[in-house]
């Protein structure tokens, strides 16, 4: 107990030296805390996305090797359902998109595109009208990722359950003065064969997907507020969707039980008749584009942490050398009085631990507060670098090879929610204790190397 009490008193006797030591230790702990807190959060995000994109498999047409329409081998709905029976899968879902023209209704951004009366097609050829809405049939119970992530939600009515029921957006309902229970008629883009389908509105959804994703041009087909949502099986049975099915406007999403099963799954679906014209792959390009800036942020914090610890340790050792030269006489007297080496060493270590623990508490508090703004700033810088690199490469779409990559390109994470957890606190605490040991290392070595008479003789 005497050793601890004396060590605490020594902190007050040598204020200048201890304040300088505390400032250096605090700076190291603060930088360490910020680096580890950011790195822990980004690592969790990276692992989460790696697991999701590694398990998510898409079967889509390879647009990098286009073929003539007559040579196109489409994947039928029956084949896709057969693929979904694989024991390697955890789940499977399907989505069918059909371009339609709502009869006697207006579409968002329709005025920007000149209306829907344009007819294209020569004599003897099918005549097409410009579609102004997109009918989407989904087999998912939660409809899509937009609903699962809260970007969309049903604010009136309920989910479709029966045949010929649909959901429309709040903006579309206001534009056409539609409400729950109203019927809408959808027609195909074929002017001479409209194939009308009557749907009943059972729900209206709020759409926030456009926030932060505004396009430089306006068109009804690119305005997601014009999406009419219905059941996948229901849309598959509509005449106006048959041509879309033939042209492969079906998106299949398969979720593997383990990411490592991708090769086995591809081999299985190929054996079930899947053409080489289609890709079977995890969404690696989207993963790299979405998580790329976060990976860059993680690498920066790792490098920063190594540099701070290396330089900080050297500064602490240098400061410890200077400090021990001032305390030779004090150590010599204690040893001459009969105090054992380990007790003197324990006293020096106690001083370092007390200073370090005080700096640790302060560093954790300030570090957790400044980590978020620092992470936001560095992440934005990484996004800008990624955009510059993309522009330097000719503005490519990030390696998109599927239709969905082009229509709905992946966008990088623009923000991360920094949180401090027990793992980060433990890592920071361990590093703080190591710093305490480093700061007292020279003094302990000095004590164990020299006897009291030698120490006192070198006082001057």
Are 242 and 162 members of one domain? Answer: yes
129-156 pLDDT per residue, tens: 889 999 999 999 999 988 988 899 999 9
Count up the domains in the chain and report the number. Answer: 2
Are 114 and 235 members of one domain? Answer: yes
pLDDT at 142: 92
Alpha carbon of 171 to those of 206, 224, 266: distances in Å? Answer: 8, 10, 41
Q: Take residue 110 and report the two structure tokens written for it.
A: 């329709």
Are 233 and 337 members of one domain? Answer: no
Q: What burial letters (b/e) apply to 360-384, b meaning 16+ CB within 10 Å?
A: beebbeebbeebbebbeebbeebbe
Are 307 and 445 members of one domain? Answer: yes
Q: What burial letters (b/e) apply to 210-225, b meaning 16+ CB within 10 Å?
A: eeeeeeeeebbbebbb
| 281 domain residue, yes or no | no
Return the percentage of the chain with pLDDT > 70, whole number.
Answer: 76
Pairing label, strands 197-207, 227-231: unpaired
Are 327 and 451 members of one domain? Answer: yes
pLDDT at 419: 78
Q: Among residues 229, 250, 271, which one ends one of the domains?
A: 250
Are 124 and 184 members of one domain? Answer: yes
| 85 domain residue, yes or no | no
Question: Average pLDDT over the chain, rounded to whole?
Answer: 80
In the predicted structure, residue 126 carries a pLDDT above the cut 60 = yes
pLDDT at 177: 95
Are 351 and 409 members of one domain? Answer: yes
| 87 domain residue, yes or no | no
| 405 domain residue, yes or no | yes
pLDDT at 325: 67
The answer to whether the CB of 428 falls within 8 A of the CB of 364 is yes
Cα–Cα distance for residue pair 182/454, rounded to 1 Å? 99
Position 398 confidence tier, pLDDT thresholds 50, 70, 90: very low
| 267 domain residue, yes or no | no
Q: Take residue 42 and report the two structure tokens written for it.
A: 């980004």
Dihedral pair phi/psi, residue 46, rounded to 5°: -60, -45
In the predicted structure, residue 175 carries a pLDDT above the cut 80 = yes
Cα–Cα distance for residue pair 57/385, rounded to 1 Å? 29
256-307 pLDDT per residue, tens: 888 788 899 999 999 999 888 888 887 666 667 777 778 888 888 888 888 8
Q: What is the residue range of 390's domain? A: 2-51+289-457
| 398 domain residue, yes or no | yes
pLDDT at 399: 46
Are 176 and 246 members of one domain? Answer: yes
pTM of the model: 0.58
Are 19 and 108 members of one domain? Answer: no
| 277 domain residue, yes or no | no
Are 390 and 448 members of one domain? Answer: yes
| Burial of 168 per CB tally in 10 Å (0-12, 13-18, 19+) | buried
In the predicted structure, residue 402 carries a pLDDT above the cut 60 = no
Q: Which of 130, 44, 78, 87 is nearest to 274 (CA)?
A: 78
Are 205 and 321 members of one domain? Answer: no
Q: Among residues 233, 250, 267, which one ends one of the domains?
A: 250
Q: Among residues 196, 230, 250, which one ends one of the domains?
A: 250
Are 383 and 443 members of one domain? Answer: yes
Pairing label, strands 183-187, 89-102: antiparallel
Return the percentage of the chain with pLDDT > 90, whole number.
Answer: 25
């Amino acid at each position: 107990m005497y050793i601890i009490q004396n060590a605490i008193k020594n902190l007050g006797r040598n204020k200048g030296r201890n304040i300088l030591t505390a400032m250096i230790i605090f700076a190291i702990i603060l930088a360490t805390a910020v680096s580890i807190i950011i790195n822990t959060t980004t690592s969790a995000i990276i692992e989460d996305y790696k697991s999701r994109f590694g398990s998510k498999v898409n079967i889509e047409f390879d647009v990098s090797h286009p073929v003539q329409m007559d040579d196109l081998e489409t994947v039928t709905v029956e084949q896709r359902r057969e693929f979904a029976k694989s024991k390697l899968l955890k789940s499977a879902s399907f989505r069918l998109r059909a371009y339609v023209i709502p009869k006697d209704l207006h579409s968002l951004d329709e005025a920007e595109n000149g209306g829907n009366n344009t007819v294209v097609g020569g004599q003897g050829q099918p005549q097409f009208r410009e579609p102004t809405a997109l009918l989407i049939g989904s087999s998912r119970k939660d409809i899509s990722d937009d609903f699962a992530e809260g970007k969309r939600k049903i604010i009136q009515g309920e989910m479709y359950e029966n045949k010929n029921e649909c959901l429309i957006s709040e903006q579309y309902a206001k534009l056409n003065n539609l409400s729950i229970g109203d019927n809408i008629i959808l027609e195909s883009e074929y002017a001479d064969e409209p194939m009308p389908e009557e749907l009943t509105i059972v729900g209206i959804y709020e759409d926030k997907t456009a926030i932060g994703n505004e396009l430089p041009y306006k068109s009804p087909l690119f305005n997601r507020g014009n999406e009419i949502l219905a059941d996948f099986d229901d849309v598959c049975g509509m005449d106006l969707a048959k041509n879309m099915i033939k042209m492969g406007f079906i998106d299949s999403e398969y979720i593997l039980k383990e990411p490592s099963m991708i090769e086995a799954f591809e081999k299985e679906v190929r054996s079930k008749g899947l053409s080489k014209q289609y890709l079977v792959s995890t969404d690696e390009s989207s993963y790299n584009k979405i998580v790329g800036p976060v990976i860059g942020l993680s690498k920066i914090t790792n490098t920063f942490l190594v540099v701070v610890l290396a330089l900080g340790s050297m500064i602490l050792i240098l400061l410890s050398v200077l400090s021990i030269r001032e305390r030779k006489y004090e150590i010599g007297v204690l040893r001459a009085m009969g105090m054992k080496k380990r007790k003197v060493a324990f006293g020096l270590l106690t001083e370092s631990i007390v200073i370090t623990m005080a700096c640790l508490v302060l560093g954790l508090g300030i570090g957790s507060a400044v980590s978020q703004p620092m992470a936001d700033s560095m992440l934005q810088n990484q996004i800008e670098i990624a955009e510059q690199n993309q522009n330097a490469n000719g503005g490519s779409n990030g390696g998109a090879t599927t239709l969905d990559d082009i229509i709905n390109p992946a966008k990088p994470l623009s923000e991360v929610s920094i949180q401090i957890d027990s793992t980060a606190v433990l890592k920071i605490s361990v590093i703080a204790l190591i710093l305490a040991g480093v700061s007292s290392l020279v003094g302990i070595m000095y004590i164990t190397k020299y006897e009291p008479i030698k120490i006192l003789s070198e006082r001057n």
